Amino acid sequence: MSVRQSLLAILDQGPCYGYQLRAEFDRRTGSTWPLNVGQIYNTLDRLERDGLVEKGDVDEHGHVYWEITDAGAAEVRDWLASPVQRAQGTRDELAIKLAVAATLPGVDVSDIIQTQRRSSLAQLQELNRAKYAGASPDGPEELAWSLVVDSMIFSAEAEVRWLDHSEQRLALHPHHAMALELSTDKPKRGRPARAEASVASEKAR
C-alpha cells in the first residue's frame, strides 16, 4: 500500500499539516492502516525532495502547511489511472512457511495448517463482527471503512480456502517423500535457474 501516493492524493484536495494529514488518512481508511507522525513527516520530506510538495503557510500554532506542486498533482492523476501491479514473486510469510515446512524432515505440516486455520477463522469471525456491528455505510467515512474491511474479509476467506487446498495437496504425498536433506552440491553464483527462466519468460512477453 502506497502511503506516498495516498498522502499526495489528500494534499491534492488542499494544504494540510502533518497531524492533519494523519487524521485525514485515518478518516479515509477507517483507521485500518495506522500511521505514526514520524512516518508522515519522513514521507513529506521525501516528497519535497522529489519536487512533489512544498512547505506553505505557518498558522498561529506553528503548524506548517504542506502544498502539492503541479508535478505532485500529475503523479496523483497517474496513480489513480493506473492499475496496482502485484509483485511477480511472493513475500507472503505464510506461503513461505508452509513451503519450507513441507520439505523439512520430521515436521508435521498438517499441524501447522490446522493451527493457522484456527487463527485465520478467528480473524475472519472478528472482521465479520466488526463489519456487522458498524453503522450502515451511508456516509463517506463509513463507506471507506467498509470497503477496507471487506477487502480484509475477502483476503481472510481466500487464506482459509488456500489452507484447505494445501492440506488436500499435501495429503496426496507421504511426508517422507517430500523431505529435502541439505544438498551437498556447491551452489553457483548468480541467479537460480528457475528465477532465470522466469525472467526470460517475462522478457519474451
pTM higher than 0.95, yes or no? Answer: no
List the pLDDT tens digit at each of the 205 positions of the chain: 488 999 999 999 999 999 999 999 988 887 777 888 899 999 999 999 999 999 999 999 999 999 999 999 999 999 998 888 777 766 788 998 998 888 888 888 899 999 999 999 999 999 988 887 765 667 788 888 888 889 999 999 999 999 999 999 988 876 656 677 777 787 777 666 555 555 555 554 4
Strand partners, 53: 68
Distance, in Å, from the CA atom of 88 to the CA atom of 202, rounded to the nearest integer, reads: 10
Q: At CA 86, angle to CA 82 and CA 198, rounded to 5? A: 125
